[in-house]
Amino acid sequence: MDQKAKKILMQTYWQSGRWRSGGYTYTEEDFQYAKSKGLMFDRLTISHDECVQRLRQLHEEVLTKELVVQAFLHSFSTRKVHLRSALSSWALTSNLPTHTYHERPVELVSYSACGYCNEHKIMSNEDYLNEDLNVLNFERIKWGGIRLNWLLYCLLDLECLVKEQEAFTVCEEDVAILKQLIEAINSCKDTDAARQLEKHWKDVFKSNQHERDVVMEIWGYAGLLVSKDDFRKERGRGTDFMSMATWRGQDGYSQEMMEFYFGSYL
């Protein structure tokens, strides 16, 4: 990743340890440089239907489960957090069929008025007008992604992964970290919530709390950490977690999905 382009993107949205206030600005020269390195983008106008078509093309022609798993594991020893959320983006969209926004309307909206997206826990709009992809990529590079189940984020995330020029080598350290993450889940008390699991993970890999939160959310959307009771009361602020909001230690992890994604490394 080009460090000058990364700095331009970071400074557009982040200053002195917080979101930049007073609007996001950059010079045209800086924008064009970051754009040439694939880190910033022109504003995008696209329909839901076009997003779905582009995602299906990626899955059918380029993406594999092995690629996103390798990228995810590779991120642990390298701390390249931007490689992590492709796992959840792939999981959320890999079985999403080609469809139109109004093809299967839904009465009780949880995520989207599109029945297919709603069923797959994807937040989607019918149209996206003049969307700022740069803020989504900033969140991806800063923390590993925030709006993980947004249709537009999944598309951006996977397209960026495909453009990566490096090989995602999985080393012994990555595998050791994976095994320790699993052990930490097993060590949770039945009543432990996501915040307690995050603390169990604190010494497993180099990270801050925000990065660990995102890894949990990624595993939640990927079906690795799934609540067996969605009607439990959420702990803390309701906006702290999305996929992990009602997970408890007693839920553990899905052995089936752990084998599906990481079986060859365990």
Rounded distance between C-alpha atoms, residue 134 and residue 139, angstroms: 9
Q: Is 132 exposed, middle or buried (0-12, 13-18, 19+ CB in 10 A)?
A: middle
Using CA atoms, how far apart are residues 121 and 149, in angstroms rounded to an integer?
Answer: 7
Tokens representing 213? Answer: 């939160």
Contact 157, 61 (CB under 8 A): no
- Give the model's pLDDT for residue 240: 75
**Residuewise pLDDT in 10s, the chain (266 residues):** 889 999 999 999 988 788 887 667 788 999 999 999 999 999 999 999 999 999 999 999 999 999 999 999 999 999 999 999 999 999 999 999 999 999 999 888 889 999 999 999 999 999 999 999 999 999 999 999 999 999 999 999 999 999 986 789 999 999 999 999 999 999 999 999 999 999 999 999 999 999 999 999 999 999 999 998 776 666 554 447 889 989 999 999 999 999 999 999 99
* Per-residue confidence (pLDDT) for residue 167, from 0 to 100: 81
What pLDDT was estimated at residue 241?
86
pLDDT for position 22? 66
Per-residue model confidence (pLDDT) at position 25: 75
Six-digit token pair at 74?
């590779």
Q: What is the pLDDT of residue 19?
A: 86
Token pair 């702990």: residue: 235
pLDDT at 239: 47
Residues 148, 91: contact at Cβ < 8 Å? no
SS3 218: helix
Q: How many C-beta atoms lie closer than 10 Å to residue 21's C-beta?
A: 8
